[in-house]
């Protein structure tokens, strides 16, 4: 009788949390803030968005990075140098690659029930894809073909020698990383078509955080740290076990 009550309570909790996630039977999620709908993919018992976040409450032009940018939310759309959210959302870069966030914005950007992927979230995902325990902790390129597995849409990658594109496992994970580039420490947009770069919420030291990058000419996954004022794509992870 006690066991039956416990099972009933567990089902009740699951049903209570489902409206917060807004995940459909077709494995999509709708962000109620702007009505954007995202594909989601499961790794282990965690749901990840399978698209870059597109939440854009304001937009900033590229330019020199200032000391106050460590503490100011900054939102960018690759190649757009105005201040109009409507104009930025009309660009093909926004529609394809979503928004680039500095770290202050990235930590606040995910909707309720989701969070900016932690370094540990990425390690768990990479472990599922076959990267060994020792390699998970390393800086630099790690693994063998895991970057190819996480990539998506061959038409967007500018590849010398087609190494990534020729991989038999290209796009097989469902993560769908797209080469949307990033805003570098020089304040300029760079590497569209060549890199997919994603913040993690994990701090390396004051002003620097870990990130992941998937390059056009590498099948592996790159792990390093960067200046929090630079801007990268964001992938959100569900706060709840699936």
CA distance 236 to 108: 11
CA distance 214 to 235: 14
| Residue carrying structure tokens 């854009």 | 56
DSSP string, 130-186: T--HHHHT-SEEESSSHHHHHB--GGG---STTHHHH-TTTTTTS--B--EEEE-TT
pLDDT, position 5: 47
pLDDT, position 71: 95
pTM of the predicted model over 0.85: yes
Return the domain boundaries, the chain. Answer: 24-238
Cβ atoms of residues 174 and 129 within 8 Å? no
Distances in Å between the Cα of 15 and the Cα atoms of 32, 42, 106, 110 are 18, 19, 29, 22
Cβ atoms of residues 187 and 193 within 8 Å? no
Ramachandran angles phi, psi of 241, nearest 5°:
-70, 145
What is the chain's pLDDT, residue by residue, as a tens digit (242 residues)? Answer: 443 444 334 433 433 343 334 444 458 999 999 999 999 999 998 999 999 999 999 999 999 999 999 999 999 999 999 999 999 999 999 999 999 999 999 999 999 999 999 999 999 999 999 998 899 999 999 999 999 999 999 999 987 766 677 678 999 999 999 999 999 999 999 999 999 999 999 999 999 999 999 999 899 999 999 999 999 999 999 998 75
């Amino acid at each position: 009788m006690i066991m039956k009550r416990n099972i009933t309570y567990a089902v009740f909790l699951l049903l209570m949390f489902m409206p917060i996630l807004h995940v459909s039977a077709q494995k999509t999620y709708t962000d109620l803030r702007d009505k954007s709908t995202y594909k989601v993919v499961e790794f282990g018992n965690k749901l990840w968005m399978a698209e870059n976040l597109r939440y854009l409450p304001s937009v900033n032009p590229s330019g020199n990075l200032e000391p106050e940018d460590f503490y100011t939310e900054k939102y960018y759309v690759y190649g757009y140098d105005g201040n109009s959210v409507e104009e930025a959302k009309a660009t093909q870069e926004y529609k394809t690659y979503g928004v680039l966030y500095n770290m202050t914005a990235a930590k606040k950007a995910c909707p309720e029930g989701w969070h900016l992927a932690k370094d540990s979230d990425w390690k768990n995902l990479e472990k599922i894809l076959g990267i060994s325990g020792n390699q998970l902790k390393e800086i630099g390129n790690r693994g063998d073909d895991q970057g190819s597995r996480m990539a998506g849409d061959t038409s967007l990658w500018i590849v010398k020698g087609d190494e990534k594109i020729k991989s038999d496992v290209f796009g097989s994970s469902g993560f769908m990383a797209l080469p949307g580039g990033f805003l570098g420490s020089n304040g300029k947009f760079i590497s569209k078509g060549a890199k997919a770069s994603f913040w993690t919420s994990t701090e390396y030291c004051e002003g620097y955080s870990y990130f992941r990058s998937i390059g056009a000419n590498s099948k592996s996954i790159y792990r390093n740290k960067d200046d929090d004022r630079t801007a990268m794509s964001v992938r959100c992870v569900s706060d709840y076990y699936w």
